[in-house]
Amino acid sequence: MADKKAKKLIYTRHEMFELNKKLLLKRGVTLESIAEISFNQQAKYTDNISRDICLESVEKILSLRDVFHHVQLAAEIDRLAEEGMFQGPIQDIIYEDLGLFGIDETMGLDVSGLYGTIGQTNFGDIDVNNHGIVKRLNDAGKEDGICHTFLDDIVGAIAAAASTRVAQVMSEETAHEETGLKRFSIFDL
């Protein structure tokens, strides 16, 4: 049996961010394209939001351990399905992205709720209305040899969590202004 001690299991926030960024890029997803969805979603509800705060939110989320595990697993499931590596009925169910298969959405719901329940509503909106990179992943996933069954939901969920974080940061700033305090620093969202 392989020596378990020789294996690396724990990564720093920076390493997790870099590994997630690299893997997403390999699968055709830029962080800017995720931030774009967050911006378009949150701009409907909040004035004066910047693309920078959306991108910062995406970057922050991608450095979290739970999200690291989700992204790494989701991308691997899709890759294995592309290579026909699963045995039994689940291979075709995942590869064909069966509508009634919902484990990809379950993972998305988990990630999207990071900054509050509203993130899950945001995720539902992205899942149903299918904009930007999520739509592109969905469309590309219908082509031969490509499977994005899990990736589209993880990407949509990160966008949903990021737009929720933007709302939380803006609310915190407003609350601090009302109390006469300068920009917050202790409560790092």
Binding region for Mg ion (CB under 5 A) out of 9-17, 65-73, 86-94, 153-161 = 153-161
Q: In this chain, which residue has its C-beta nearest to Mg ion?
A: 104
Alpha carbon of residue 4 to chain centroid: 30
Give the whole-angstrom CA distance, residue 75 versus residue 69. 10
| 51-61 vs 31-42: helix crossing angle, rounded to 10 | 120
Angle between helices 31-42 and 13-26 (to 10 degrees): 100
CB of 134 to Mg ion, least distance (A): 9
Interaction with Mg ion in 121-150: which residues (CB under 5 A)? 149
Q: CA-to-CA distance for 188 and 121, rounded, in angstroms? A: 24
Q: Is 152 in the site for Mg ion (CB under 5 A)?
A: yes
Q: Number of residues interacting with Mg ion: please give it, by CB under 5 A.
A: 4
Q: Which of 153, 160, 162, 163 is close enough to bind Mg ion by CB under 5 A?
A: 153
Minimum CB distance to Mg ion smaller for 57 or for 149: 149
Residue 139 neighbours by CB under 8 Å, 6+ apart: none
To Mg ion, the closest distance from the beta carbon of 133 in angstroms equals 13
In the chain the first and final C-alpha atoms are separated, in Å, by 42
Mark residue 86 as left, alpha or beta (left: phi above 0; alpha: psi -120 to 50; beta: remaining): beta
CB atoms within 10 A of CB 8: 6
CB of 101 to Mg ion, least distance (A): 8
**Which of these segments, 22-30, 33-41, 151-159, 161-169, binds Mg ion (CB under 5 A)?**
151-159
- In this chain, which of 49, 104, 112, 133 binds Mg ion, going by CB under 5 A? 104
Tokens of 167: 């709302």
Nearest distance, CB of residue 154 and Mg ion, angstroms = 9
Q: Which of these segments, 16-24, 97-105, 111-119, 163-171, binds Mg ion (CB under 5 A)?
A: 97-105
Smallest gap from Cβ 142 to Mg ion, in A, equals 12
For Mg ion, the binding residues (CB under 5 A) are: 104, 149, 152-153
